[in-house]
Structure 1
């Protein structure tokens, strides 16, 4: 018996880790919080939380839960084509030291996550 319902199985969970250029962790975190604000009410975005590592403030995490892969793709396309984004993807990437790390997850449930 699977712990994941059929509806939940379509969900997309991601943990993105970004290492900011030295000393730019606060700036990167603030920019990503502004990006997260644009996703409030975006169809399919269930959770998008920015976190900063207490021990290493230049490391920033984004924890995401989406209803499905189509919602993720729609959000990425909207970000690519936005006329006046609060923060451009290029500006975010200019603060990042190396590639972002992505871990794909299966959201199962918990506090803050709709059943």
Structure 2
């Protein structure tokens, strides 16, 4: 499994709108093959900062979801970028397991 932590800074006052767009993306990912976790969080101290925590079966699943979102008629990556004040920060992770992950016992 792979993971990503995305930190996004919205234009001032647009954090709620950014979070809403990302929650719409999350809704479309329910049941998407390979998507284990897609969690949207807003920073308690700075509501214009939004975090996305992702866990995917593999990179191919993450890439397939990105491609599908552009064709599904919902929010696109461009819709997200339009709300940002700067480029998102992405941290790639190797997921080791934990609570809430299916088959967490199968992880190395």
Give the corresponding residue for 1:72: 62
SS in 2 for 1:48: strand
Mapped partners of 2:96, 2:52: distance in 1: 18
SS in 1 for 2:82: helix
Mapped partners of 1:89, 1:106: distance in 2: 24
Runs of 4+ in 1 over 3 A off after TM superposition: none
Match for 2:17 among 9, 27, 48? 27
How far residue 81 of structure 1 moved from its aligned partner, in angstroms, is 2.5
Tell whether 2:44 aligns with 1:54: yes
How far residue 80 of structure 1 moved from its aligned partner, in angstroms, is 2.4
Taking structure 2 as the reference length, the TM-score comes to 0.91
Give the corresponding residue for 1:91: 79
How far residue 63 of structure 1 moved from its aligned partner, in angstroms, is 0.2
Q: What are the Cα deviations for residues 70-91 of structure 1, in whole angstroms up to 9, with x where unaligned?
A: 1011111112233x11x23222
Gaps in structure 1 of 5+ consecutive residues: 1-10
Gaps in structure 2 of 5+ consecutive residues: none
SS in 2 for 1:54: coil
SS in 2 for 1:49: strand
Q: How many residues align?
A: 103
Tell whether 2:35 aligns with 1:45: yes
Match for 1:111 among 88, 92, 99? 99
